[in-house]
Amino acid sequence: MRLAVAGGTGMAGAHITAVAHERGHEVVVLSRSTGVELLSGAGLQGRLEGVDAVIDATNVTTAKPDVSVSFFAGATKSLLRAEQLAGVRHHLALTIVGAEAAPDGYYAGKLVQERLVSTSDVPWTVLRTTQFHEYAAMMFHRSHAGAHVAPAGRVQPVALHEVAEHLVDLAEGEAAGRTTDLAGPREESLADMVRRYARAIGYRRPVPIVHTPGTLGRALRSGALLPGTTALRGVQTFSEWLDALPDA
């Protein structure tokens, strides 16, 4: 198959691209560093010729709803328009379990993305997953006033290589609409994950627990971002992911 991975140079996108290559697919990577600016559409023309499916793993780092909505709406519209012109028969979006529980920050953009995809004429699949194991690293490195902190929360993190395998499986099949969610094997304390990650990379100072403000903080602490009982469960635990870190 010929697969396009939008955001194929990013954290999730690199895993998706690697899995697609391992399976012998031809991969077209769409990102600014490969000459495609999705918000303006610059560089996109001609890149989707002969593409069977597009997996969207693009992202913007923000907690602001307007920035998130503007990015995900812009990138999604641009991709769907180009897919229609090129006759692509399958668009896949990677989104987040429980996004509606915190609709006034970053997740606002994810909800708009899902709405645009699910009302598009391009046959589609939306896969929601829980936080990746890497979320612990992201939270640790996002320091507050120069200090590293560990946000309180209940999460069920999943391995990115399992997300990538599943997305490529889905891309190899027919468009499935909103498909079954994918989560990790067990619930973890986010604060504990961040502290264990800090120790694993050799950080020895205290990492205080904080309560993230607003709806995201409440969603994290209440368990609203945990998967339902019907979600698929991955295999790799957070501990196994941590043990496999190069710095561990």
Q: How far is the CB of 173 from ligand NAP (least distance, A)?
A: 20
The residue from 32, 64, 161, 221 that contacts ligand NAP (CB under 6 A) is 32
Q: How far is the CB of 52 from ligand NAP (least distance, A)?
A: 20
3 state DSSP class of 23: coil
Region at 50 (left for phi over 0; alpha for psi -120 to 50; beta for the rest): left
The rounded Cα 10 to chain-centroid distance in angstroms is 10
The answer to whether residues 136 and 209 touch, using CB atoms and an 8 Å cutoff, is no
Nearer to ligand NAP, 12 or 149 (CB): 12
Separation of alpha carbons 164 and 95, rounded Å: 13
Nearer to ligand NAP, 21 or 146 (CB): 21
Enumerate helices (H) and strands (E) in the chain, giving the number of each: 8, 12
Residues between 42 and 71 that touch ligand NAP (CB under 6 A): 57-59
Residue nearest to ligand NAP (CB): 10
Asked whether position 179 contacts ligand NAP by CB under 6 A, the answer is no
**Residues touching ligand NAP, count (CB under 6 A):** 23
Burial 161-190 (b: 16+ CB within 10 A, else e): bbbbbbbbebbeeebeeebebbbbbeebbb
User: Interior CA angle at 110 toward 106 and 115, to 5°?
Assistant: 145
Per the listing, tokens 């969610």 go with 181
The residue from 13, 65, 151, 184 that contacts ligand NAP (CB under 6 A) is 13
Contacts of 165 (CB under 8 A, 6+ apart): 19
The residue from 38, 53, 112, 198 that contacts ligand NAP (CB under 6 A) is 38
Run of H or E residues at 172: helix 160-172
Residues between 92 and 151 that touch ligand NAP (CB under 6 A): 94, 96, 110, 129, 131-132, 135
Q: How far is the CB of 204 from ligand NAP (least distance, A)?
A: 26
The residue from 18, 39, 209, 232 that contacts ligand NAP (CB under 6 A) is 39
Q: Which residues bind ligand NAP (CB under 6 A)?
A: 7, 9-13, 31-33, 36-39, 57-59, 94, 96, 110, 129, 131-132, 135
